[in-house]
Chain A
Amino acid sequence: MTDTRNRPGRTTKRAPALNTVEFLRWAWRQLTSMRIALVLLFLLAVAAIPGSLIPQSTVDPAAVFSFRENNPDLARWYDRLGMFDVFRSVWFGAIYLMLMVSLVGCIVPRTRLYWRSFRAKPPDAPSRLSRLPAHHRWVDSDDAETVAGRVEQALRDRRYRVRRYVDGSGRQVVAAENGQLREAGNLVFHLGIVVVLLAVAYGALFGFKGAALVVEKEGFSNTLTQYDEFTPGAWFDTTDLDPFTLTVRDFDVTFETAGEQRGAPRSFRADLGYVEQPGAKPAPYDLQVNHPLRVGSTSVFLVGHGYAPRVTVRDGDGDVAFRGPVPFLPQDGSYTSIGVVKVPDAQPEQLGFEGFFLPTQAFDETRGPYSAFPDALNPALVLTAYSGDLQMNTDEPQSVYVIEKDKLTQFKNDKGDPFRLLLRPGDTVKLPDGAGSFTFDGVSRAVRLQIGSSPGKLLALLAVIAATLGLIASLFIRPRRAWVRVDGSGGDTVVEVAGLDRVAGGNLVEAVEEIATATRRGPQEEAT
Chain B
Amino acid sequence: MTTEQLGYASNLALVSATIVYALAMLSHIAEWASARKVVVREQPPAEAPRAELVAAGVPPAGPPAEGTAEGVAASATDAAPPTTGAEAELRTERFAQIGVSLTVLAFLVHLMGVAARGFAAGPRVPWGNMFEFATTGALAAVAAYLVALKLYRTQWLGLLVTGFAVVVLGVAMLTPVYVAPGPLVPALHSYWLAIHVSAAAISGGAFGVGALASVLYLLKSRAESRTPEVQGVWSRLPAAIEIDRIAYKVHAFAFPLWTFGALIAGPIWAYYAWSRFWGWDPKEVWALITWVVYAAYLHARATAGWQGRRASIIALVGFATFLFSFIGINLFGSGLHAYAGV
Residues of A within 8 A of B (CB): 1, 3-5, 34-35, 37-38, 41-42, 44-45, 48-49, 51-53, 55-56, 58-60, 63, 87, 200, 209, 256, 259-261, 264-268, 288-292, 299, 301, 303, 450, 452, 454, 457, 460-461, 464-465, 467-468, 471-472, 475-476, 504-505
Given A41-B296, A289-B273: A4 and B255 interface contact (C-beta under 8 Å): no
Interchain residue pairs A-B with the least CB separation, the first 4: A301-B275, A52-B285, A450-B275, A52-B282
Q: How far is the CA of A58 from the CA of B273 in the complex (A)?
A: 18
Most buried by B among A52, A268, A292, A452: A52
Q: Does B279 touch A at the CB level, under 8 Å?
A: yes
Contacts of A42 in B (CB 8 A): 292-293, 296
Q: List 7 A-B contacts (CB under 8 A).
A: A38-B306, A44-B292, A48-B289, A49-B289, A266-B183, A288-B186, A289-B187
Beta-carbon contact of B187 and A290 below 8 Å? yes
Beta-carbon contact of B189 and A267 below 8 Å? yes
Q: In the complex, which range does the number of interface residues on chain B fall in? A: 35 or more
Beta-carbon contact of B180 and A303 below 8 Å? no
Given A52-B329, A289-B187, A505-B245: A5 and B272 interface contact (C-beta under 8 Å): no
Beta-carbon contact of B256 and A472 below 8 Å? yes
Q: How far is the CA of A34 from the CA of B180 in the complex (A)?
A: 49
Tell me which of A303, A460, A461 contacts B274 (CB under 8 A). Answer: A303
Beta-carbon contact of B256 and A87 below 8 Å? no
Beta-carbon contact of B280 and A471 below 8 Å? no
B residues 278-314 touching A (CB-CB < 8 Å): 278-282, 285-286, 288-289, 292-293, 295-296, 298-300, 302-306
User: Smallest Cβ distance from B124 to chain A, in angstroms?
Assistant: 12
B residues 319-342 touching A (CB-CB < 8 Å): 321, 329, 332, 334-335
Beta-carbon contact of A41 and B285 below 8 Å? no
Most buried by A among B179, B274, B296: B296
Given A260-B179, A260-B182, A268-B186: A292 and B268 interface contact (C-beta under 8 Å): no
Q: How far is the CA of A267 from the CA of B299 in the complex (A)?
A: 45
User: Smallest Cβ distance from A455 to chain B, in angstroms?
Assistant: 12
Beta-carbon contact of B321 and A45 below 8 Å? yes
Beta-carbon contact of A303 and B275 below 8 Å? yes
Beta-carbon contact of B182 and A256 below 8 Å? yes
Beta-carbon contact of B303 and A34 below 8 Å? yes
Most buried by A among B187, B249, B295: B295
Smallest CB-CB separation from A43: which chain B residue? B292
Contacts of B304 in A (CB 8 A): 4-5
Taken residue by residue from 159 to 170, chain B's Cβ proximity to chain A (1 for < 8 Å, 0 otherwise) reads as: 000000000000
User: Smallest Cβ distance from A297 to chain B, in angstroms?
Assistant: 14
User: Smallest Cβ distance from A214 to chain B, in angstroms?
Assistant: 15
Q: Which of B47-55, B69-77, B90-98, B259-267 lies at the interface?
A: B259-267
Taken residue by residue from 165 to 199, chain B's Cβ proximity to chain A (1 for < 8 Å, 0 otherwise) reads as: 00000000000000110110111011010000000
Beta-carbon contact of B281 and A59 below 8 Å? yes
Beta-carbon contact of B182 and A265 below 8 Å? no
Beta-carbon contact of B277 and A454 below 8 Å? yes
User: Smallest Cβ distance from B27 to chain A, in angstroms?
Assistant: 31
Smallest CB-CB separation from B288: which chain A residue? A48
Contacts of A290 in B (CB 8 A): 186-187, 189-190, 192, 269, 272-273
Contacts of A45 in B (CB 8 A): 289, 292-293, 296, 321
Smallest CB-CB separation from A1: which chain B residue? B299
Tell me which of A53, A260, A467 contacts B332 (CB under 8 A). Answer: A53
Beta-carbon contact of A209 and B252 below 8 Å? no
Given A34-B299, A289-B273: A261 and B286 interface contact (C-beta under 8 Å): no
User: Smallest Cβ distance from A169 to chain B, in angstroms?
Assistant: 39
Q: How far is the CA of A464 from the CA of B292 in the complex (A)?
A: 15
Contacts of A288 in B (CB 8 A): 186, 189
Q: Does B248 touch A at the CB level, under 8 Å?
A: yes
Beta-carbon contact of A56 and B289 below 8 Å? no
Given A38-B306, A48-B288: A63 and B334 interface contact (C-beta under 8 Å): yes
Tell me which of B269, B275, B332 contacts A209 (CB under 8 A). Answer: B275
Contacts of B272 in A (CB 8 A): 290-292, 301
Contacts of A63 in B (CB 8 A): 334
Beta-carbon contact of A3 and B303 below 8 Å? yes
Beta-carbon contact of A475 and B256 below 8 Å? yes
